[in-house]
Copies of this chain bind each other. A is one copy, B any other.
Amino acid sequence: MEALPDLDNLETYKADKSRLGQALERLPQDAPTPEERFPPPYGVVGFGEGWWPAELLRDRFPDTLARGTTFVLAGGYDHGKLAGLLAAAREESERVVVLGFGPEAEVKIPSSPLSPYRYLRYLLLATGELELAQSLEAALKAELERTAPYVPSQENPAKLLAWSFLERTPLWVASERYPMLAQALQQVFARVGKSLSIAPPPAALEFFITALEARHEQGDPLVAVTLGTDEEIELAKEVLATRVDYLEELDPPKAKGPLPEALAYWYRLAWAAYYLALLYRKDPGDHEVLARLREAAS
């Protein structure tokens, strides 16, 4: 049997043909910055890669179209809906800003599994949330210090996570404090780690206790990964302890506040997914096939 790649050996990183590692390292400050402020009130709508940043700001901007500025996150997979949405936004809003890729985008954010952070940071800056944008950046930088390739395996939580994900399927158990984080992790884990993971439905506790009843004695190789701490997470841990192969309790990020914390977790797991791809000897970057799909679905 061939030995598994060594994550502390530079040789291993040759599989990263698309240089996603570099993009990950640069990510904290590698995002477009708006040069102007836009008239409020704000609305936001996200397609494809833009779905999560739009959801994350739903509390602040409950409307999709707004009288002031509508931000349209054109992240692909709009299935022909972008054109109609743009027409409606131009009717409704004083200003329409299209971010993303494709000919309509005035703020270019190329397709990438890392783009959710870029969209989010731009939107925060463009709507006057400078302080929050800075704490997102600080949150990612603090994670980077522990998760970058130069940090050896024993001290690197992302490398250690990659080993526990190997040949297992993660089940994301996120606190309600982080809405849609589980789905965002499912997405980045697929695109970077090339692997399947599971996000539970709402009323997740009930799901955890019932979904593994018929087959858990067969030892399906699941890793439950908890994100955050609250009463529900504690109950989930009790329920899952005897039902999954392995329980990973992520230690809390340094960041404070739901949004920086969620992004810190997401970034840590993007690194873990990156290392997992390397363990499988796969290029963690995107593949041609995704570009072709995007064309077919635009």
Report whether A207 and B193 are in contact in the complex, using a CB–CB cutoff of 8 Å: no
Residues in B whose Cβ lies below 8 Å from that of A277 = 214
Report whether B198 and A198 are in contact in the complex, using a CB–CB cutoff of 8 Å: yes
What is the CB-to-nearest-CB distance from A198 to chain B, in angstroms, rounded to a whole number? 6
Q: Tell me whether A293 is interfacial, beta carbon within 8 Å.
A: yes
Q: Which B-chain residue is minimally distant from A286 (CB atoms)? A: B210
What is the CB-to-nearest-CB distance from A137 to chain B, in angstroms, rounded to a whole number? 25
Q: Tell me whether A118 is interfacial, beta carbon within 8 Å.
A: no
Residues in B whose Cβ lies below 8 Å from that of A79 = 176, 231-232
Report whether A191 and B210 are in contact in the complex, using a CB–CB cutoff of 8 Å: yes
Report whether B187 and A296 are in contact in the complex, using a CB–CB cutoff of 8 Å: no
Bound-state CA distance A36–B187 (Å) is 46
Q: Tell me whether A101 is interfacial, beta carbon within 8 Å.
A: no
What is the CB-to-nearest-CB distance from A202 to chain B, in angstroms, rounded to a whole number? 4
Q: Which B-chain residue is minimally distant from A186 (CB atoms)? A: B201
What is the CB-to-nearest-CB distance from A235 to chain B, in angstroms, rounded to a whole number? 6
Report whether B194 and A214 are in contact in the complex, using a CB–CB cutoff of 8 Å: yes
Among the listed B183, B203, B287, B297, which residue makes an inter-chain contact with A48, where contact means beta carbons less than 8 Å apart?
A: B203
Q: Tell me whether A213 is interfacial, beta carbon within 8 Å.
A: yes
Residues in B whose Cβ lies below 8 Å from that of A205 = 77, 293, 297
Report whether B297 and A239 are in contact in the complex, using a CB–CB cutoff of 8 Å: no
Bound-state CA distance A187–B209 (Å) is 11
Residues in B whose Cβ lies below 8 Å from that of A178 = none
Q: Tell me whether A212 is interfacial, beta carbon within 8 Å.
A: yes
A75 and B209 in contact (CB under 8 A), knowing A198-B198, A214-B280, A280-B214? no
Residues in B whose Cβ lies below 8 Å from that of A206 = 48-49, 76-77, 187, 190-191, 290, 293
Residues in B whose Cβ lies below 8 Å from that of A289 = 209
Q: Which B-chain residue is minimally distant from A193 (CB atoms)? A: B214
Q: Tell me whether A196 is interfacial, beta carbon within 8 Å.
A: yes
What is the CB-to-nearest-CB distance from A100 to chain B, in angstroms, rounded to a whole number? 12
What is the CB-to-nearest-CB distance from A97 to chain B, in angstroms, rounded to a whole number? 21
A201 and B184 in contact (CB under 8 A), knowing A190-B206, A220-B196? yes
Q: Which B-chain residue is minimally distant from A81 (CB atoms)? A: B176
Interchain residue pairs with CB less than 8 A apart (20): A75-B203, A76-B203, A76-B206, A77-B205, A77-B206, A79-B176, A79-B231, A186-B201, A186-B207, A187-B203, A191-B206, A191-B207, A196-B215, A196-B220, A198-B198, A205-B293, A210-B287, A213-B282, A214-B282, A235-B293
Closest 8 CB pairs of A and B: A190-B211, A194-B213, A183-B201, A194-B214, A51-B202, A190-B210, A186-B201, A214-B280
